[in-house]
Each structure stands twice: as structure tokens, then as C-alpha cells.
A and B are shown apart, each in its own frame.
Chain A
Amino acid sequence: MTDLAAHIRELLTAALPPGTPVLLPEQAESALGGRRPGQAGGISGYLQAHPGGYVQIEAPVPITSTGNQDTYWTAVAALAPTPAVADALAAQVRAALTGTPPADPGWFNTAIPAQTSPLGPDAHLTRATYARTLLLGQVPR
């Protein structure tokens, strides 16, 4: 379901402030990668370079199928130097994916609401899980 992750990335890059990195599941390592001499490494270093935070899309997980309707859950994490920035970024992610149901719905439903957890003194993560039911596994655009 790489197409579903790509679809989420399209929605998020259109809605989030320009320059906010939205990483696909396979790009998770790029934020954790090594450092250049004189720079902080790992996630702290990446967040120093992106103080507005970044979004990590995790691999979609298949949940159920009724034969033609397949439900996938996809965790989307917002990472930022402070919990407040991470929460604000996660709220923007939620608005982009789910809209304001049921008045103005989006493509996704919230399956598990956001949880904020610290990864370190200067790295905080807010992670929520979004559900999307696909017809015959196709991602509509």
C-alpha cells in the first residue's frame, strides 16, 4: 500500500506550511541519519534544521476486508522540538486528512486519537492513526 502513503503525502504537502518535510515510510531513516562534523546528529539534529517540525507517515496496516472494501490504518506522526509545536502540527495533519466530520468530511477517519510522547529533551512526537476504506484496494485521487 505504498500508494496510500503517497496519497497521504500529497494531501499533507498541499495543506501543511511550505517547507515542512513529509517523510514516506521508507524515508524514516533520513531523519535519523548521521551527522556532518560540527552538527548535532540523529533526530535532534534533524529537528534543529527543521524547527517547525516534520511529519513521518508510517506504513499502512491492513485491518479488515469485506471482499471489496479494504480498511487500512495508517499512523501519522508529527515530530517537533517542543510538545506544543508537535501538537499544532498534528492538528494540521488531522484537519488535512479528516476535515471536520460530519459537516465537511475529509478522505480519512480518525481511528486512534493523537498521543504525545517525548523522545528526548528536544524531540517530541504526536502520533495518531487514520483509517481509510479502499474499494478493491484502489486509492482514489
Chain B
Amino acid sequence: MSFLTPVNAATAYLATNMVAEGRIVLFDPIGTFEGITGAVNLGLFPEDAVIAPNAEVTRETIRAINPEGGASIVVEERVTETTISYEIPVLTPSEQVRSLHNGAPAVALTDPTLTGVSVTPFTPGASILGRMVVIAKRPGADADRLFRVFWHPRAALQSNGLGESQGEQTLLFTASVRAHTYEPGAAFDDVATQITQYGAIFTVPASDLAALLTALDTEAAS
């Protein structure tokens, strides 16, 4: 294989490659949260929404005198700052998603005259720490077609106000990915170095998606 015969020579121009990936966002708050045990599916997004990790990286160049003369050369570009975030507009917020949008974990009231009432502190700028999984599905019937799964052991979900799509209200979230070091479970033991503090991107055959999500269930759970 070379430049003359690339590995994907047969598949590079295939029409099947031109297909949109779907987006399913799952969020599992770490702390206790009234009304939420386990993960929450954030729901459907407007058709034109772009749900993708947006990484802002600040680099600092380190220069040295050019031994051959002339302008100084760049020896390294050191990454000094990384911010990874998702902008998520939710078109179909369920009750759980609406309580996530309140911005902080909810607590149930115990007063018998106030059953069913829960309370969230009003703290602008607060965020909910949790584990986040984004599933990118592709259409088709082939059990071997590949999905992508973005895994973030910690992400902070923040309310970002309200938006609008086709006249319908959307709840806006900003999820900023936080660094978190943890010991990967047995299933990921041999690839532990592939999983960074910010998580990993898995490529998974459609038939194995359920197994991967089950394996991720116990990862960085506390």
C-alpha cells in the first residue's frame, strides 16, 4: 500500500459514504438527583443542530535559533489550555431533562402536604457533574455497520437558556468536558492508555453497541 494505491482505493468514492450520522446524548448525573436514577436520554434535537465536541486549544510556540541561519525555527507547539464543550439544543425535553435544565441537583420535600415537590437551588452558572455518552448512529440494516460512541467520564452540564426551532421552544445546554482520571474496568484494561482524562471515542459495530454501553455503565461511576 502506498500513495499510488491507497488502502481505501475501492471505497473512497462510494455513494454509501455520503450519509449523515445521528446523535443520541446520554447523561448520568454523579450525585443524587431527585427523579433521576441512572442515565437520561436528552431527547431529540432540531434537524440543523450540530452536536459535536468543540475543542478550543491554546498553543504556545517554542522557538530556537536556526542552526542553518535565517529566521528562527519552531521547535514545538506546546498546548497550554484545552476547553472541550458541546452546545446541545433539546427539542423534546422530558421531565428529567427539564429538571437538569434547572442547573443543579433537585431534592424532594418530605413535608406530607408537599409530596411530589422537589427543589433546586437557584444558582446561576451552576452545573451538574455527570458521565456523558454521545452515540452517532448510521442508517442501514447491516449489523456490521460502524457507529461511533463518544465517552466522557466527566462532563458538566449547564443550562444555557432557551432557544427556538420552527417556532418551538428548545432548552439549551452547554456541556463542558472535565478532566477525570479513573481506573478503567476489566473490559478496557488493555486499552487503558487510549482512554484519556477527557474520555475516548469508540468505533463499534451496530451489533456490539449494547455490549459497549453495558461495559461503560460501571466506568468512572463514582
Contact = CB atoms under 8 A, between A and B. Distances in A.
A135 B15 contact: yes
Interface residues of A, number: 20
A6 B148 CA distance: 30
Interface stretch (A19-27, A35-43, A44-52, A103-111): A103-111
B49 A135 contact: no
Contacts, number: 53
A119 B215 CA distance: 54
A66 B137 CA distance: 26
B166 to A, nearest CB: 12
A14 to B, nearest CB: 7
A101 B15 contact: no
A101 B47 contact: yes
A109 B45 CA distance: 15
A140 B47 CA distance: 22
Contacts of A106: 139
B10 interface: no
Contacts of A107: 19, 139-140
Contact of A135 (B18, B20, B22, B140): B18
A104 B139 CA distance: 7
A140 B49 contact: no
A99 B16 contact: no
Given A104-B22, A105-B20, A99 B15 contact: no
Contacts of A101: 20, 22, 47
Contact of A102 (B13, B18, B19, B47): B47
Contact of A138 (B15, B19, B141): B15
Interface string A56-87: 00000000000001000000000000000000
A100 interface: yes
The SS class assigned to the B binding surface is loop
A133 interface: yes
Contacts of A102: 20, 22-23, 44-45, 47, 49, 51
Contacts of B45: 102-103
Contacts of A138: 15
Given A104-B22, A105-B139, A140 B44 contact: no
Contacts of A135: 13, 15, 17-18
22 contacts: A99-B22, A99-B139, A100-B44, A101-B22, A101-B47, A102-B23, A102-B44, A102-B47, A103-B24, A103-B44, A103-B137, A104-B24, A104-B139, A105-B137, A106-B139, A107-B19, A109-B47, A133-B18, A135-B15, A136-B13, A140-B18, A141-B16
Given A103-B137, A105-B21, A138-B15, 6 more contacts: A102-B44, A102-B49, A103-B23, A105-B137, A135-B15, A135-B18
